[in-house]
Amino acid sequence: DTGVSQNPRHKITKRGQNVTFRCDPISEHNRLYWYRQTLGQGPEFLTYFQNEAQLEKSRLLSDRFSAERPKGSFSTLEIQRTEQGDSAMYLCASSFYGGLETQYFGPGTRLLVL
């Protein structure tokens, strides 16, 4: 499968714990995006990378959230001290800047904070 992959697909954690999600983009894509989707809503932009540089972070991304993309390949999104309000689907997308720039989404990681 050459699409965007995300792991884990599901995560259940207790309030206050830290969680980390991984996204592997389509191999030739230089842009990587993170979105958050809550039930019945459209995805909301969190942050994006061009290669290894994080170029924009949404106001939604509080200090408890951090994202990295070392070496411009896979990316990780960490949430520290999780809260119940963090429960959502976390989606990763990738695109090729300089080409069609279509964003291809992964299947998402569904987080439930108890």
The contact set with other proteins (CB under 8 A) reads 4, 31, 33, 35, 40-45, 48, 50, 55-56, 91, 93, 95, 97, 101-108
User: Could you count the other beta carbons within 10 Å of the beta carbon of residue 28?
Assistant: 9
Q: For other proteins, which is the closer residue by CB, 18 or 62? A: 62
For 54, the enclosing helix (H) or strand (E) is strand 53-57
- The minimum distance between CB 16 and other proteins, in angstroms, equals 27
- The CA distance from 25 to 82, in Å, is 25
Beta-carbon contacts of residue 33 (< 8 Å; ≥ 6 apart): 45, 46, 47, 48, 49, 92, 93, 94, 95, 103
Q: For other proteins, which is the closer residue by CB, 18 or 102? A: 102
- The minimum distance between CB 59 and other proteins, in angstroms, equals 12
Q: For other proteins, which is the closer residue by CB, 24 or 80? A: 24
- The minimum distance between CB 20 and other proteins, in angstroms, equals 19
Fill in the amino acid letter for 10: H
